[in-house]
Structure 1
Amino acid sequence: MSRNILLIGFMGVGKGALARELVRQAPALYALDTDDMIESLTNTRIKKIFATAGEPAFRALEQKTADWLAKNVQNAVISTGGGFYKVKNIRSIGTVVYLKADFQWILDRILNAPNAKKKLKKRPLFQDVDKARALYESRYEAYEEVADIVLDVTKKSTAELAKELLERLEISS
């Protein structure tokens, strides 16, 4: 296998958790997170990038990361930020998997997490729930348009989702 699995979806939907579970079930894969990569590249937290340089600068960093991934990475599960679906070369990185859930489910997941305050603080675009809902509504159709696979994450555990995705991609665990 030389293809990557690229997890997209709205912030808080569980892309990172699914990436870790996929790697647990298929040890030949390894996990990367585009937000972590950007923080390493800039030595700056995402929240600070948004606050000091603005969203356009952050989106440029996402594109730079996408370009690097497309050229240099194989056999990885890549969890992405909520807006990563906009990068020009998304399909050249790997199989694009949209983790689908309705907004209320995502909000409840974040608010009911043991570290809810930390999860909210780390998501600068989620600081105003009404604005986050409007952002969700402006994106959900675009996520489906760029996806190769759509997974409804609301009715299954992370382990079940990982098993289903590995089967659909014909990757042995």
Structure 2
Amino acid sequence: MAEQADEGPDALHRQAQEAVLSGLRRGDDIHDLINAVAPHHAVGHFTPDAAMLEVAVSALELACPAGNEPLVYEGLQERYLPEVTFTGRVEHRNIQYALYAAACMRGGLQPDLLHDAGWWQSPLWTYAVFAVVIYARAAAERLDVPTTEIVQRIAARHGIQLLSTR
């Protein structure tokens, strides 16, 4: 449930983005990142699917600037998110969808998130958080900078001022 039911979708959208970026900057593990975004999911009111995919798009743009070598899909999850094992066809399809949806959005095609993933048992935003981590780590490796630097660049693109770390 959302932290405050009276908060509008725009506030929840931004807070979800701040939560995932702040956690990534602190070096939180993937489960902590999911838990940080979860309070911003208000069933029947707001889901952070688009908010997380927008952050993933920014990370992908940093990993693959126009004219540079594209990322290869094969092995992407195992290389940049080895701590998560996707089992079964459904989980593999869901992470694939999140990675592809961010790539579509980057290319100018808005996927039909409600129609495509609205019926999923596990919400799309959880897989979109995985996509954020995968693309942010890929960007850090390709640019030879720490992930924290990538997080700062993404936050700047979204006009998000992250609080100083502990």
- TM-score w.r.t. the length of structure 1 is 0.35
Higher relative contact order (CA 8 A, sep 6+): 1
Structure with a larger share of its residues in strand:
1
The structure whose residues are more often helix, as a share, is 2
